[in-house]
Every structure is written in structure tokens, then in C-alpha cells.
């Protein structure tokens, strides 16, 4: 039976009492993102009134030593300043359990611990199980949880239990399907929350508000007025500590399959039936992904460019090329840069090229969605000296400085009819007077509330893999296209510019 008290209550601020169990709690994600985010939520008073974090991993920690480690993490990584008083009340809810995710008997101990917490706190906690581990452990951990009765079949029992999993969701379409099937063998889809942290960013969420809360943009949001869409993900860092993981995956798997295709689907979706129903939005996103043209393996090389960074400079400092990095095989062909040209075959987007690019060791860290509008008819300006009429560009900057800008042409003061580009902009940092929460803060809160809107569904994952499958197949084939080279600190290989130049377009200068 649907909860009659949930109707219309779409602005629940505080989730019900929850225990967040983090598997793999000794890892980097917990230290850098999860616990610091929880601390900020606690400081802003968004956490449930009764809330517990239970870290679990094979590493030997006590409750106290784990709390001390998390204190250092929060000091280093939380956006909120750590105060003694706040930390004291927050840390009283942090516990630790030594646990091997592959050992069934360890889950019995986990079960006892959770029951003990129920008794001590006089609560009937909901559970959120966060799998901050390698994907190969997901199915085993889920199975062990179910066997212990810590996860009940969806819609039954007296408490809600859900599982949060991190990317990568498989290596390709086949492995993604397998992973989904393994999880679905133990859990209902409604109990699985797949995180893509980009969906937790304010600017990404703002795409829907921007499109559908303003009457002026949606009528232009189609192939009649839009010339091309570009999504750029640029990092100035190299592989850092992730050499082994990165070399096995490459940037196409690491960020394009998830972050970029998620942003693309939000930019291109039809208006959903509801903004407060998770499946309404996810249904529309899946439609976009299904509409992206699937190309044959023989066409993939002409719509994609891959490259590796070579020696160069980042902000004036010399850096070495990818093949010289520690932990990278000398003959690796893993791409650190990729550019794609996609097409969406539907009424709204027919004929509008979509360009995606992602790369490491590019000049700066920036992620931006750039929407280029078509040039207006210029007959009014023919014969006049107006300078070069620039296309209007709507730019949604996702990081580092979240905000939206619109480039228009305007006449500068003076006696001549001239047009120069100017930028109208809105910045999150300056417009609202309150700091933006971190992406993980929003996502953790939603997981505790049971709101799956900002999490990806199984069919989204599989459709995204399906879009990229021909490219992976082409790259793995006997006639695989070359891996080009680009100097660190440049904007990528010249072949990437040629991908757009062949259609009279060019990458936006970031």
C-alpha cells in the first residue's frame, strides 16, 4: 500500500533514523568524501536525529582509532570547519567493525552489532549499506547481507534497507549486465542506488531547473536553434595514485561512460512527467540514451579520437608523459584523452552534432557543457562593419566554479554600429549567499531518504555501455585506430580539432 502521508510531501528535509554501513571503510573514498560529507551534513543539521556510521573493512581499527582517523580526514577534506564541540557530538555516532566481505561468519557479527545499536539507541534503524569496495565483491557482500536478513525483499519488513554502489559499473556492456544481474539476484532494483557523483553537483541538478523553470529557453532547445552541443571534462592532473586502475580502464570508461553521458542525457531529455518521481526522470534519460545513434564498428574510428599525453608543462611546471608514469606499462595503449562525435536520432535533436571530450593533463581543471546556438540571419549587418558576429553560447560550468553564462553580441558605446561579444553570467558562489553542498552530501542524504532520482538505474547503465560498445570494439579490433599523442598542458591532439573542423565547428576555448 502506498504511504498516504508521503503524498505532496516532497520536501522531506530530515531522513528517518539510519545506520550507514560503509564496506571498504579504510579506503580513500571514505576518508576523502564520505565521512567529511557526513560531518558537513551533521554541522548543517541535515542528518537524521538518530544516525550512526559503522565503518567496516579487513583493516584493524577500534572504534576510537577509526574516529581519530576520521577526524584527520574531516580536517583535511570537509568543506565545513571542524570544531571540537561539533566533532564530539558527531564522532559519538562513529563505530567500526572488522569485517571480511567474503566471510559469511563476519556478517553474523555485523548483524549482532546492528541489533546491539538498535537496543542501545532504542531505535528501529533503516540501513544504508555503502559498497566502497571493488565491484568484484558486490555480489558476495549483497548475498551475505541477504542471508543474514539484513536486507529483506523490497516492500517487506519493518525497516528500509538499501545498497549504494560506486562506479565502475562493469567494464563493458556484458560485464555491466552481469553485475546488474548479480545484484538483482539478491536485491530489487528499488534497493540499489548506483552513484554517479556528478549527479549530486548543484549545477547538474540545476539543468532541470534551468530548462523547466524558465519559459525562455525551452522553445529554443531543439535542432532549429541549436547548432551543436559540447561537453568537456578536463583535468590538469595525471594518473596520480590510480595508475593500475586507470591503465586497465582508460578515460572512456572512467568518465565518459558515466559522467559525460549522464550530463548529456539531462541536457537532451524531454520534460518528465514529474520532477519529484525518480523514475519519471530516469525514464526520460533512458530514452535519450536509446536515441543516441549506434554506429557500426567500421564507423567508430571516424567519430572518435583517442590519445595519450606526452611530456609537457602544467602551469609552467614540467611533467612527464603517460608512458613514463610509475606503474604504467611502457607499451600501454590506454587513452588519457578521448573525443567523440555523437548524434541523437529523434525529433528534437536530429542533425545536431554532440561533441564529448575528456582528458588528463590538459591545461586546467574544468567541466563544462557548452550549447552553441545557430547564427542569426546577418542581412541587417551586411555592408556594415560589425566585427565578427559570434554565435550565442550558453555555458553550464559544472566545476570548479559552478554557474551558467550566456554569451551574446552587444553594441559597444560609440558612434559606429559594431557588435562585440559580452557574457551574462550567474555564479553559485555569488548569487545565493549560501555555500553549495558537496555532491556526496546530497547523494548520501537522498540515499537515506530513499529518493533515487539522482542515482542511475540498471537500464541507464546498460544503454550507456551500448552507446560506447562499437568504439571499444573498434579499439580492440585488428584494425584499431591509432592512439595519438598530445603535449601535456595543451588542449589535446590536433586530430580532435579535425573531428569538429570537418563539420565547420571548433572546440570552445576553455
Partner 1 sequence: MKAEYSYVETEPSDLSAALRGALSLEGLSSLYTDAVSSNVLIPVCSKESLESSQRLLDALTSVSPSRYFLVLIDNDEKEVRTEIAAHCRFDSDSESGCAALIRITCPESKFSAVPSILRANFFTGVEQQLFLLDNKVPANIVRELFSLSESVVVDSSQFEVNKELLGEIVVRFNQVVDLQWVALSSWRDAIRNMFAMPQVGDLLRGLESVTVVAGSSHSFASRLIAGWVVSKLSVELPKNCIFINSSTGKPVEVVFKADSKSANMSIVEITFDFGGNKKAKIGLKGQSMLETQIELEEVTRTCAPYRDSTQSEALRRYFTIGDSNANYAAALKVALELQQNS
> Nearer Cβ to partner 1, position 208 or 389?
389
Residue closer to partner 1, measured from CB, 419 or 444: 419
Nearer to partner 1 by Cβ, of 91 and 397: the residue is 397
Q: How far apart are CA 320 and CA 318, in angstroms?
A: 7
Is residue 168 within 8 A of residue 248, CB to CB? The reply is no
Q: For residue 363, give the C-alpha cell.
A: 591545461
What is the pattern of x (binds partner 1, CB under 8 A) and - over residues 282-321? ------------------------------xxxxxxx---
Closest CA to 349 of 503, 462, 227: 227
Nearer to partner 1, 469 or 510 (CB): 510
- Cell output for 451: 529518493
Is residue 364 near partner 1 by the rule CB under 8 A? yes
Q: Does 385 bind partner 1 (CB under 8 A)?
A: yes
Residues 394-453 that bind partner 1 (CB under 8 A): 395, 397, 405, 407, 412-416, 418, 420-425, 427, 430
Which entry of 77, 111, 197, 259 is annotated as an active-site residue? 259
Q: What is the DSSP string of 98-130?
A: E--TT-HHHHHHHHHHHHHHHHHHT---EEEEE
Q: Which is nearer to partner 1, 224 or 324 (CB)?
A: 324
Q: How many CA atoms lie within 13 A of 270 on its CB side?
A: 13
In the complex, the smallest distance separating the C-beta of residue 203 from partner 1, rounded to whole angstroms, is 14
Beta-carbon contacts of residue 509 (< 8 Å; ≥ 6 apart)? none
Choice from 77, 79, 111, 508 touching partner 1 (CB under 8 A): 508
Asked whether the beta carbons of 419 and 381 are under 8 A apart, the reply is yes
E-assigned strands of 122-179? 126-131, 161-166
Is residue 489 part of the contact set for partner 1 (CB under 8 A)? yes
For the window 168-197, what string marks contact with partner 1 as x by the rule CB under 8 A? ------------------------------
> Which segments of 328-419 are extended strands (E)?
337-342, 354-359, 366-373, 393-399, 403-410
Binding residues for partner 1 restricted to 118-137, rule: CB under 8 A: none
Q: What totals of helices (H) and strands (E) does the chain contain, helices first?
A: 15, 17
Nearest Cα to 510, choosing from 488, 486, 491? 491
**What is the pairing mode between strands 317-319 and 312-314?**
antiparallel
Shortest gap between Cβ of 238 and partner 1 (angstroms)? 14
Question: Is residue 259 annotated as part of the catalytic site, yes or no?
Answer: yes
CB 322 → partner 1: shortest distance, Å?
Answer: 16
Q: Work out whether 490 is an interface residue with partner 1 (CB under 8 A).
A: yes
**Residue 510 in the binding site for partner 1 (CB under 8 A):** yes
At closest approach, how far in Å is the CB of 507 from partner 1?
12
Beta carbon of residue 393, minimum distance to partner 1 (angstroms, whole number): 7
- CA 227/CA 10 separation, integer angstroms: 37
- Residue 236 within binding range of partner 1, rule CB under 8 A: yes
Question: Which residues of this protein are in contact with partner 1, per CB under 8 A?
Answer: 236, 312-318, 363-364, 366, 368, 385, 387-388, 390, 393, 395, 397, 405, 407, 412-416, 418, 420-425, 427, 430, 488-491, 508-510
What positions carry a catalytic annotation?
Answer: 259
Amino acid at each position: 500500500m502506498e504511504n498516504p502521508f508521503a503524498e505532496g510531501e516532497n520536501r522531506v528535509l530530515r531522513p528517518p533514523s539510519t545506520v550507514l554501513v560503509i564496506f571498504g571503510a579504510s579506503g580513500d573514498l571514505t576518508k576523502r568524501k564520505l565521512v567529511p560529507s557526513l560531518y558537513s551534513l551533521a554541522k548543517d543539521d541535515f542528518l537524521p536525529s538518530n544516525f550512526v556510521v559503522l565503518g567496516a573493512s579487513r583493516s584493524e581499527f577500534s572504534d576510537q582509532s577509526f574516529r581519530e582517523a576520521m577526524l584527520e580526514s574531516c580536517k583535511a577534506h570537509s568543506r565545513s570547519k571542524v570544531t571540537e564541540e561539533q566533532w564530539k557530538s558527531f564522532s559519538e555516532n562513529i563505530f567500526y567493525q572488522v569485517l571480511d566481505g567474503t566471510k559469511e561468519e563476519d556478517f553474523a557479527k555485523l548483524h549482532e552489532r546492528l541489533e546491539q545499536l538498535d537496543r542501545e539507541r532504542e531505535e528501529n534503524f533503516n540501513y544504508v549499506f555503502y559498497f566502497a569496495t571493488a565491484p568484484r565483491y558486490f555480489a558476495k557482500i549483497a548475498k551475505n547481507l541477504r542471508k543474514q536478513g539484513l536486507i529483506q525483499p523490497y516492500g517487506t519488513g519493518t525497516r528500509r534497507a538499501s545498497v549504494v554502489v560506486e562506479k565502475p559499473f562493469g567494464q563493458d556492456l556484458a560485464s555491466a549486465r552481469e553485475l546488474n544481474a548479480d545484484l538483482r539476484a539478491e536485491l530489487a532494483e528499488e534497493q540499489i542506488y548506483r552513484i554517479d557523483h556528478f549527479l549530486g553537483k548543484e549545477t547538474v541538478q540545476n539543468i532541470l531547473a534551468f530548462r523547466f523553470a524558465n519559459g525562455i529557453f525551452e522553445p529554443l532547445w531543439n535542432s532549429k536553434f541549436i547548432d551543436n552541443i559540447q561537453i568537456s571534462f578536463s583535468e590538469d592532473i595525471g594518473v596520480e595514485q590510480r595508475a593500475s586502475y586507470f591503465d586497465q580502464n582508460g578515460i572512456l570508461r572512467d568518465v565518459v561512460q558515466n559522467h559525460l553521458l549522464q550530463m548529456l542525457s539531462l541536457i537532451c531529455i524531454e520534460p518528465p512527467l514529474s520532477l519529484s518521481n525518480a523514475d519519471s526522470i530516469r525514464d526520460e534519460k533512458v530514452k535519450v540514451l536509446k536515441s543516441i545513434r549506434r554506429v557500426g564498428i567500421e564507423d567508430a574510428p571516424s567519430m572518435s579520437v583517442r590519445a595519450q599525453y606526452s611530456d609537457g608543462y602544467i602551469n609552467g611546471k614540467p611533467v612527464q608523459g603517460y608512458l613514463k608514469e610509475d606503474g604504467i606499462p611502457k607499451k600501454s595503449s590506454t587513452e588519457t584523452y578521448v573525443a567523440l562525435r555523437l548524434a541523437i536520432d529523434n525529433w528534437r535533436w536530429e542533425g545536431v552534432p554532440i561533441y564529448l571530450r575528456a582528458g588528463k593533463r590538459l591545461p586546467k581543471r574544468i567541466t563544462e557543457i557548452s550549447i552553441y546556438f545557430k547564427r542569426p540571419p546577418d542581412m541587417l549587418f551586411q555592408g556594415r562593419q560589425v566585427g565578427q558576429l559570434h554565435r550565442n553560447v550558453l555555458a553550464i560550468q559544472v566545476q570548479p566554479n559552478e554557474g551558467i553564462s550566456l554569451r551574446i553580441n552587444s553594441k559597444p558605446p560609440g558612434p559606429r554600429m559594431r557588435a562585440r561579444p559580452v557574457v551574462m553570467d550567474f555564479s553559485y558562489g555569488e548569487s545565493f549567499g549560501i555555500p553549495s553542498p558537496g555532491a556526496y552530501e546530497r547523494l548520501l542524504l537522498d540515499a537515506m531518504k530513499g529518493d533515487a532520482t539522482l542515482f542511475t538505474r540498471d537500464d541507464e547503465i546498460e544503454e550507456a555501455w551500448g552507446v560506447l560498445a562499437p568504439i571499444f570494439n573498434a579499439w580492440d579490433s585488428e584494425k584499431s585506430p591509432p592512439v595519438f599523442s598530445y603535449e601535456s598542458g595543451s588542449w589535446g591532439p590536433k586530430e580532435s580539432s579535425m573531428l569538429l573542423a570537418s563539420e565547420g565547428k571548433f572546440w570552445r576555448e576553455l
